Each structure stands twice: as structure tokens, then as C-alpha cells.
């Protein structure tokens, strides 16, 4: 009985690990989503800036304005590259989180199956013990009846 309590406690701990892994994965996915939204905003800003530049350059621009635009675009492109690194790092965390969830789910399933087999084996053992006790009781009753009948036969 104590072994089963211990086993149930181990299953409970494994289920908590799985729950924690799922919560962590959810947080990692939200962080990836935020980083992705920032990337989309940066890319949209680049497109918008390019469109504004095309409109301005159609009317003519001086060297200072061209230099300022190129410098500005380099900063934005640098920010995009940095954000790409952030996205890759967040994706790696999501992948790792998914692997942890998978491992935790596998552990829980294995422990549950093991617990189920142990409980079935215990139930089977109890059933055999009860059957043995019932058989022994029936045999004792039969032997007493037989002895009682024999002793009546000898007394008569």
C-alpha cells in the first residue's frame, strides 16, 4: 500500500512538471509572438520609409538628405537584423519548451501506465488471496461436515 502511495506521489510530481512545462511553453510562445510583432512593425516601417523616400526623391534631394536617409535606413536594417536574432533565440526557447513538454507528457503517460499495471497486479493478487481464503473456508466447512457425519455414523 505504501508503495502505491509513493507511486501516486511520483505521478503527481510528474504531472506538476508537465503543467509547469506547459506554462513555461505558453510564456515562451507569447514572448516569440511579441518579438515577431516587433519584427513585422520594423519591416512595415522600412516599407513606409522607402515609399516616403521615393516620393521625396521624385522632386529632387540634396547630398545631405541622401546621406541622412542612408544612415537612417542602415539603423533600421541593423534593428531588423538584431530583431531577427531575438526571434531566432525566442524560437529556440519555444523549441526547447516543446521538447520539455513532450518529455514531461511521455513521463506522465509512462508512470500512469506503470501505476495502472501495478494496481491491476495488486487487484489480481487480492482476488487470488480472497479466492484462496474462500476455498480454504469451503474446505474447512466440508471437512467439518464430513467429520460430523462420520462421528454420527460411528455413534449410531
- HEC secondary structure over 73-112: HHHHHHHHHHHHHHHHHHHHHHHHHHHHHHHHHHHHHHHH
- How many distinct helices (H) and strands (E) make up the chain? 2, 0
Query: How high is the pLDDT of residue 120?
Result: 94
pTM here? 0.72
Can you say whether residue 62 is alpha, beta or left, with left for phi > 0 and alpha for psi between -120 and 50 degrees? beta
Of the listed ranges 14-28, 117-131, 142-156, the least confidently predicted one is: 142-156
pLDDT range class, residue 116, cuts 50, 70, 90: very high
Question: Tens digit of pLDDT for each residue in 22-76?
Answer: 999 999 999 999 999 999 999 999 999 999 888 888 788 788 888 998 999 999 9
pLDDT greater at residue 58 or residue 107: 107
Q: Tell me: pLDDT of 156 over 60.
A: no
> Which residues are CB-neighbours of 97 under 8 A, at least 6 positions away?
21, 24, 25, 28, 29
> In the chain, pLDDT over 90 holds for what percent of residues?
78
Can you say whether residue 83 is alpha, beta or left, with left for phi > 0 and alpha for psi between -120 and 50 degrees? alpha
Average pLDDT score over residue span 81-91: 97
> Which residues are CB-neighbours of 15 under 8 A, at least 6 positions away?
108
CATH architecture of 2-110: Orthogonal Bundle (1.10)
Average pLDDT score over residue span 70-91: 96
Amino acid at each position: 500500500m505504501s508503495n502505491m502511495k509513493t507511486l501516486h506521489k511520483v505521478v503527481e510530481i510528474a504531472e506538476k512538471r508537465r503543467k509547469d512545462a506547459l506554462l513555461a511553453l505558453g510564456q515562451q510562445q507569447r514572448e516569440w509572438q511579441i518579438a515577431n510583432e516587433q519584427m513585422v512593425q520594423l519591416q512595415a516601417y522600412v516599407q513606409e520609409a522607402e515609399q516616403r523616400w521615393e516620393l521625396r526623391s521624385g522632386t529632387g534631394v540634396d547630398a545631405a538628405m541622401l546621406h541622412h536617409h542612408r544612415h537612417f535606413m542602415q539603423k533600421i536594417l541593423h534593428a531588423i537584423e538584431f530583431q531577427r536574432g531575438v526571434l531566432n533565440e525566442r524560437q529556440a526557447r519555444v523549441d526547447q519548451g516543446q521538447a520539455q513538454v513532450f518529455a514531461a507528457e511521455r513521463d506522465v503517460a509512462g508512470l500512469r501506465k506503470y501505476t495502472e499495471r501495478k494496481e491491476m497486479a495488486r487487484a489480481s493478487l487480492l482476488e487470488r488471496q480472497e479466492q484462496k481464503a474462500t476455498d480454504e473456508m469451503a474446505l474447512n466447512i466440508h471437512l467439518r461436515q464430513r467429520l460430523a457425519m462420520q462421528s454420527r455414523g460411528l455413534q449410531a
